[in-house]
Structure 1
Amino acid sequence: MSNRSTSETALKRLGFVLGLTRLGLLAETLTRAFWPVWTILFALAASVMMGALDVLPLEAIWAIGIFAVLAVGWFVARGVAKVHWPTREDTIARLDSTLPGRPLQALRDAPAIGEGDAGSQAIWQAHQDRMAERAKAARAVKPNLQLARLDPFGLRYTATLLLLIGLLFGSVARVGQIGEIASNGVTDLAAGPTWEGWIEPPRYTGLPARYLNDQPEGALEIPEGSRIMLRLYGEVGALTVAETVSARTGELPSAAEPEQSFLAAQDGTLEISGPGGAKWDVTLLRDTAPEIAMTGSADTSARGEMTLPFEGSDDYEVVGGTAVINLDLASVSRTYGLALEPEAREPISVPLPLPISGDRASFEEILIEDFSEHVWAHLPVTVTLIAEDAAGQTGESVTLPIDLPARRFFDPLAAAVIEMRRDLLWSKENAPRVAQLMRAVSHNPVDGIFKRETDYLRLRTILRRLEAFKAYGLTDEKRDELAEALWELALNLEDGTLGNALERLQQAQERLAEAMKNGASDAEIERLMQELREATEDYMRELARRNQQEGEQSGDQQQAQNSMQMDQNDLQRMMDRIQELMEQGRMAEAQQALEELQRMLENMQVTQGQGQNGEGDQSMQGLADTLREQQGLSDEAFRELQEQFNPNAQAGQSGENQGFNGGEGRGTAHDGTGGEGEGEGQEGTAQGQQENGQQGQGGNESSDMGLGDRQQALRQELDRQMQNLPGAGTPEGDAARESLGRAGDAMDGAEEALRQDDLATAIDRQAEAMEALREGMRSLGDAMDQAQQQGSQGNAQAQGANRDPLGRSQGNRGAAGTDDGLLQGEDVYRQARRLLDEIRRRAGEVERPEIERNYLERLLDRF
């Protein structure tokens, strides 16, 4: 028997097996291609049999029906595209893969060599006979109908189960209701042609959509760029649309198209012709470009920042703005280092601040930017403000020529360093001149030029680097590196690194005197006066601590008869007088008053009174510790809330980060009540913690307790403190107890929320507890002050017991904290804007968990 006859005979014997296998392959293909179709049909049939048509409104039925038809049509088309009809070759390959040695393929093979050799042919024939015997054992291959990969949620099983439930507990007769609904729809459609229309203004206008059917015929005003959508019902052609507002050209859709949509781009007419038609004369409300203008002159703030007030307006809203600053080269005095042509630089472009909340159609704001490090500082520039609206239109302000405001340096050497830095940034060709000036300044300096040897060494180091870079070619990167070093040197020369309060006070006085000689601006005078006030306060506190230590060591509690005593009001009046004289231009008198103040401060001795109120001190210190513990606990709860929904949020932070206050209440209190205890009275703080139930025993014990247990312990500690609270029977003492009672109730709510793992609610309750604690501490401080004044009338020494050298209440002996803001200056508002913008951005991210977005929305509602 030949090879071909053996193969054909074996395959003929397997004809039935191959047929069944081919059907299995076809079943696999159809199942994988069309399983969504019968899944949808099963679900719809089950819902109809269970009475969904009797419950749902007609509109919902039509919507579901249309969606189902579209979905089935899409899956059918998709399935047809995926169907691959199995061929004979596919069937043989599938069957052959289940047999050892693939005998069917071997039967269809032919020998590559030895065709004329009888021995080779005999061997090949024996091989063919052996493969034919193996092929006889072939059985039809079962189709693989597993769809777990395509249907991971098992929707096909759910649909099948619903169908079985409908067959068992529903009624097949309800399927006939589909025909009745369809026939009613056709009847309604045949009642006559009708139409609907909508006008959708651009989203940035904030205007609602309008129903065109409700608009009276005639004049119609709509915003420019509005979208007009029309739907025509009934027989095609019964209604037609004619319009001239879209300005469309080229190939246009049919006027009888059932659905039409276009943008209003020009004035024109809109007409719907046919039964029940209407006509409008459309007028567009043009979107005008935004307007922006400067409302004041540019000035320099106390920090050296440029402040420029401006106002913007638009018919809808301003979405962005930019301030563009260009160098006015024609107005630059081309002398010294500015005589060379400057290197090309891009104009300065900074974003304009916009209102955080409220209407952006008309607003006033202040641009605050620090250009002190820019090469154009104090040089003539032109400023142009540009505003942009949502439509992409821009408006520009009038160009303002000014000298770019920046920080001024009053120290002569610092001013010289800044000028050399400017020349180097102006052009790299100034490098030899700058090096020569630096060498002249640092060559054999006389006493007083360099206040510290480190400043001299830093200048010489910069000089050597500049000369080295100049020898090998000064690149932009090396130039910028040297400019940064010169800036830091100038700051150090101007401000210094003062660790001694008297030295800082003397330098503040010298800088103020230098400013008066140089005719500084009002803003600079105000900044230097504020610096003088702060330096004076530090000096007074240092004197108070030193005198207290000396008094404790010597045991002498008596005032020196010749000592000078000043209260806060006296010192304030002297400084106000100095500032008033300078503002009036009477610099000679102001200089004399400043020298008098300096002599008084240097010769003054400040002593502390000795009247102590141990019980009040302990109560105030205990409440301050409780407040810090509560703040730290709130910080930990907030971090856990962040990590719960964003595990990588703290990936870049230290694992030992304890938040602002620290997880165990360490750090500085947010409200400033703990400032004195943390800075000046650390011994008192430690002692107070030991005397008040050993609060904050350490990280080990607290780390073993849950947040709820720690909150409970803090609540119990507050109850203990309230039992020993002074000032009972006085209005201030009663107010303190009432506030602390509210704090305890808020702590109870926080504990309950923490045990239920509701961190967002717990944080809110903890914030209420902290606010109530602050109110209680303020009331307790008032009560202690009142009691002390009543018990020390006529005794000036006792009155000063709880005061610092300027007559202010100590943080742990009187009214805790201060009424002044913790942050000063215009930069606070920019930080607040950035913080609120970030909160709004996160609150608008739908991918964030709902509980986190709810918490962010509560923050926005509060602020």
Structure 2
Amino acid sequence: MAIHDRQGSSDTNRAEQQDRAETASAENPARAAGKTGQHRTPFGAAGLDARLWPLRRQLWLTRIGLLSEQILRAFWPAASVLFLSLAAVMIGVADFLPIEAFWAGSVALGLSLLAAIIWGLRNLRWPSWQRTQDHLDKTLKGRPIAALLDDQAIGRGDAASSELWRLHQARMAKRAQAANAPAPNLRLAAADPFGIRFMALTLFLVALLFGSILHVGNLRQMAPGTQQAQIGPTWEGWLEPPHYTGLPVLYLADQPGSRLNVAAGSTVTLRFYGEIGDLTLAETVSGRTDALPSAADPEQRFEVTQSGVIEIQGPGGHSWQVTLLPDTPPQVSVAAEPEASVDGSMEMPFTGQDDYGIERGQVTIDLDLLALERSHGLAADPDPRAPIVLDLPLPLTGDRREFTEVLTDNFAQHPWANMPMVYTFMVEDAAGQTGQSAGFGAPLATRRFFDPMAAAIIEQRRDLLWTRANAPRITQILRTLTHRPKDLFRDSGDYLRLRAILRRLETYVTQAGADGLQEPQQEEIAAALWDLAIELEEGDIGDALERMRRAQDRLSQAMRDGASEQEIAELMQELREATQDYLRQLQRQADAEAEDLDPGERAENTLELSQDDLQAMMDRIQELMEQGRMAEAEQALREFQQMMENMQVTQGQPGQGNSPGDQAMQGLAETLREQQGLSDQAFRDLQEQFNPNAQSGESSQNEGRNGGQGRGQSHEPGQSPDGQSAEGQEGEGGQGAPQSGQQQSLADRQQQLRDELQRQQDGLPFGSSPEGQDTREALDRAGRAMENAEDALRQGDMAEALDRQSEAMEALRDGMRSLGEAMAQQESAPGNQGQNSQQSRSESTDPLGRGNRGASQGGTIGDEQAYRRAWDLLEDIRRRSGDQNRSESERNYLQRLLDRF
């Protein structure tokens, strides 16, 4: 290491001596030429030995690298000072400094920059060729450049020595050819241990990103004499509207016109520069009459309260005619009458509007005594009760200048439930102005009770909350309700609860005496009556027939009471669900009693109805209600109730397809056919999108939705395979079932088909078997695919709808396959051999009584292998019928096979 240091020192001294020699050569070229002897220096490389001319490129790059090191080490302080100066200017420091501080900082930075430049020039050294050669030679093994410049000192006259020297020179020249210019050393850690250069560069980059080069122009204002020039008469001003208006602040100097439209409450700020009195203000928009400031004050501030004139008088002044835009009070109105939602909450839409937006609002709901029928328990004077006050819901996002929202709240347990009320809406804007709607008369809509006993108890609860003075009267009415409970109460527990409530109420009335019932006791009895009414209205009934009767009674009562369409639709859905439960219970009962019945025994006068027939009857009832024909709907409901009470589900003869599995299979097959029809129609609509010149339902490659020119088959609802209506003949009076399937959109028909699939899924048998679980999973997939297809149809994406409909059909086929396997498993079960013993014997023997080789050993039917083979054949026919490459006649033949089987 010591040797290396001495060598480096020697090289450095040698390089310095060479630099001085080159300097002397430049001063006396003739003398230098005499010393260099026969070696000639190429042009542009003064001081470069001719023997190193092949290495000129590497030497030039090395020299440039050394020069960059020298420049960086000499001028990094000057660059740091320059970056700091530019950063201060671009950030705008001059705008916040006094003129004296600005000039002091400028002088300090200027002197620092000058000193740094002088120091850099003094320390800058131009790298010589000798230093360049040594720097490049250090990077090579064996110092070949130095060897090339050496001369043979011993044995010049010896031929062998000369040859050896020549070979040595050739080897060194070859090694020198592999030289590469070393990278310059640009590290300044030793010269700048505190990292001042990095701090200056960081400040410059921050100013470059967040500052502006335009601040350089502001430096002209700091020039001598500039401030004096700015003292002359000039002005600036701002017009600031109220914050709640959302309007921008206006710079008055940028408003050259003579008219201004100003929002009420805007603030005007003016500043005058120059000699006091050169500029004055004259305005009539503030309405100020006392304690007026001087018109020549350097700063003026006032609020615009009326229309008028703003004038700046003096050199460079301006005048505006101001028109005040008044802030109008907000308005609110009722959009529709209140309605009770499905859960009993009241929904009442209202509309609000204001020129700048509504901030808050309230609604006051008070009892309308004039519109109330004061009879029975309401005949007495009511106890004092404060009106209902609710905050109005306002849009959380969006524009509040004009909107429509829905007031929602649940008043089911309020003493004024379903009584006539007066609704008064009030809104307020940010300026404190209020607007109020006229009193709107409407009932306090909430849930209603249709069970007669529940409705009677709710009425007594209402009378008790109306006034505590009704307590004695309510005890008498409740006692009459409990006189003969057998005819009124379906559950003895409800009767006992009512008796307990009655005893507590009688105790409170006796203890209160002349003072009357206390408020806590009133609330306790009211809460107990509410819970009892809810139990009577919605209590869980194990008997499906009783639940169905209750649903029918509630629907009939709702029609008589004039309930809303939403309430009737809810009760109709409850009746549908109760009917389905009742039919499932009858089916289970029929399955349990099937062993004791003679298969050939049948009632002579038996009316056979399927689930589709029952659904059609309920649809007819709902249609009559929607048309407002309540009398006919109630009569149809009574007939339906009598028919359901007399209904008996029979097992049916073997092979007739009356079992639950057969009915489910038929329903799924019908659903699959309708889904296929929807898919066909969606495909044709997709074709029509690419052929707009075709007629409706036809294209150049399409036969039309219903077979075009009389060919093909219709898949639309209400059409049989032969194209005729399948809705049935018109009934008496000339009214037939409405043909609405063709008038509905594809999305609506897809939704109805999905609802029908859900209904069929709810009534599926074989729920606990593995095959039954597979069936339900497949139908779940079909339902999700139908839902996705419906969304695609509503968005107009026919291609996506076709894909989803294909998935739905495939899932339906999987479900039908699993259902068929479940039916085959049930038929082959040992517990079912007794039910079909006669058929089993006929299948297990031939007509002569001999054993049938094709029958199973247990004498059961339903060869699973044969069933799978039949299903595979059916799938192959479906696949071939959808192959567009086959001929039209072949596809029509395959389609007729599918329609038949």
Change (3 A) 1:425 1:249: farther
Q: CA deviation at 1:588?
A: 4.5
Normalization by structure 2: what TM-score?
0.49
Q: CA deviation at 1:453?
A: 1.6
Q: Check if 1:431 corresponds to 2:474.
A: no
Counterparts of 2:569 and 2:537, CA distance in 1 = 17
- Note if contact 2:498-2:532 (Cα within 8 Å) is conserved in structure 1: yes
Counterparts of 1:673 and 1:406, CA distance in 2 = 31
Q: Check if 1:312 corresponds to 2:364.
A: no
Match of 1:375 in 2: 415
**Alignment partner for residue 618 of structure 2, among 549, 567, 575?**
575
Q: Which amino acid aligns with 1:447?
A: K
Which deviations, in whole Å up to 9, do the C-alpha atoms of 1:596-639 show, x marking residues without a partner? Answer: 333554526484327999xx9xxxxxxxxxxxxxxxxxxxxxxx
Change (3 A) 1:56 1:682: farther
Counterparts of 1:782 and 1:501, CA distance in 2 = 34
Counterparts of 1:449 and 1:678, CA distance in 2 = 37
Match of 1:456 in 2: 495
Which deviations, in whole Å up to 9, do the C-alpha atoms of 1:199-227 show, x marking residues without a partner? Answer: 23233333333332222342211111223
Counterparts of 2:583 and 2:327, CA distance in 1 = 62
Counterparts of 1:219 and 1:565, CA distance in 2 = 84
- Note if contact 1:424-1:483 (Cα within 8 Å) is conserved in structure 2: yes
Q: Which amino acid aligns with 2:322?
A: V
Match of 1:263 in 2: 303
SS in 1 for 2:411: coil
Counterparts of 1:686 and 1:229, CA distance in 2 = 85
Match of 1:484 in 2: 527
**Alignment partner for residue 468 of structure 1, among 501, 507, 511?**
507
Match of 1:54 in 2: 86
Change (3 A) 1:383 1:499: same
Match of 1:493 in 2: 536
Q: CA deviation at 1:420?
A: 1.4
Which deviations, in whole Å up to 9, do the C-alpha atoms of 1:324-365 show, x marking residues without a partner? Answer: 221222443433322332221111122334456554333344
Match of 1:566 in 2: 610
Change (3 A) 1:434 1:408: same
**Alignment partner for residue 513 of structure 1, among 556, 559, 569?**
556
Q: CA deviation at 1:532?
A: 1.8
Q: CA deviation at 1:674?
A: 14
The runs of 5 or more residues in structure 2 that have no matched partner are: 1-77, 102-191, 205-215, 650-657, 669-753, 790-799, 828-901
Q: CA deviation at 1:285?
A: 0.7
Match of 2:281 in 1: 241
Match of 1:785 in 2: 812
Q: Which amino acid aligns with 2:520?
A: E
Match of 1:195 in 2: 235
Which deviations, in whole Å up to 9, do the C-alpha atoms of 1:360-380 show, x marking residues without a partner? Answer: 333344434433322222333
Change (3 A) 1:409 1:342: same
Q: Which amino acid aligns with 1:190?
A: A
Match of 1:104 in 2: none
Q: Check if 1:206 corresponds to 2:260.
A: no
Match of 1:405 in 2: 445
Change (3 A) 1:496 1:227: same
Q: How does 1:411-426 map to 2 (within 5 A)?
A: 411-426=451-466
- Note if contact 2:333-2:437 (Cα within 8 Å) is conserved in structure 1: yes
- Note if contact 1:413-1:449 (Cα within 8 Å) is conserved in structure 2: yes
Which deviations, in whole Å up to 9, do the C-alpha atoms of 1:119-146 show, x marking residues without a partner? Answer: xxxxxxxxxxxxxxxxxxxxxxxxxxxx
Counterparts of 2:496 and 2:562, CA distance in 1 = 32
Counterparts of 2:498 and 2:433, CA distance in 1 = 51
| Structure label with greater radius of gyration | 2
Which deviations, in whole Å up to 9, do the C-alpha atoms of 1:683-702 show, x marking residues without a partner? Answer: 989979999xxxxxxxxxxx
Match of 2:430 in 1: 390
Q: CA deviation at 1:789?
A: 8.4
Counterparts of 1:63 and 1:559, CA distance in 2 = 110
SS in 2 for 1:535: helix
Q: CA deviation at 1:396?
A: 1.8
Aligned residues: 529
- Note if contact 2:331-2:354 (Cα within 8 Å) is conserved in structure 1: yes
Change (3 A) 1:307 1:601: same
SS in 1 for 2:469: helix
Q: CA deviation at 1:577?
A: 1.9
Q: Percent identity?
A: 43
Counterparts of 2:195 and 2:814, CA distance in 1 = 82
- Note if contact 1:548-1:608 (Cα within 8 Å) is conserved in structure 2: no
Q: CA deviation at 1:508?
A: 0.5
Which deviations, in whole Å up to 9, do the C-alpha atoms of 1:793-823 show, x marking residues without a partner? Answer: 9x9x99xx9xxxxxxxxxxxxxxxxxxxxxx
The runs of 5 or more residues in structure 1 that have no matched partner are: 1-45, 70-161, 617-670, 692-720, 740-772, 802-863
Counterparts of 1:485 and 1:422, CA distance in 2 = 13
Counterparts of 1:518 and 1:673, CA distance in 2 = 31
Counterparts of 2:388 and 2:490, CA distance in 1 = 36
Match of 1:609 in 2: 661
SS in 2 for 1:334: coil
Q: CA deviation at 1:437?
A: 2.2
Change (3 A) 1:260 1:683: farther
Change (3 A) 1:196 1:409: same
Range with greater deviation from structure 2 (186-195 or 481-490)? 186-195
Q: Check if 1:532 corresponds to 2:571.
A: no
Counterparts of 2:614 and 2:303, CA distance in 1 = 71
SS in 2 for 1:577: helix
Q: Which amino acid aligns with 1:53?
A: S
SS in 2 for 1:281: strand
- Note if contact 2:451-2:553 (Cα within 8 Å) is conserved in structure 1: no
Q: Which amino acid aligns with 1:528?
A: L
Q: How does 1:62-211 map to 2 (within 5 A)?
A: 62=94, 65=97, 183-184=222-223, 187-188=226-227, 190-191=229-230, 192-211=232-251
**Alignment partner for residue 315 of structure 2, among 272, 275, 278?**
275
**Alignment partner for residue 639 of structure 2, among 576, 579, 596?**
596
Match of 1:637 in 2: none
Change (3 A) 1:168 1:507: closer
When the two chains are superposed, the root-mean-square deviation of aligned CA atoms in Å is 5.6
Counterparts of 1:485 and 1:186, CA distance in 2 = 93
SS in 1 for 2:540: coil
SS in 1 for 2:660: coil
Counterparts of 2:88 and 2:588, CA distance in 1 = 82
Q: How does 1:275-354 map to 2 (within 5 A)?
A: 275-354=315-394
Q: Which amino acid aligns with 1:408?
A: R
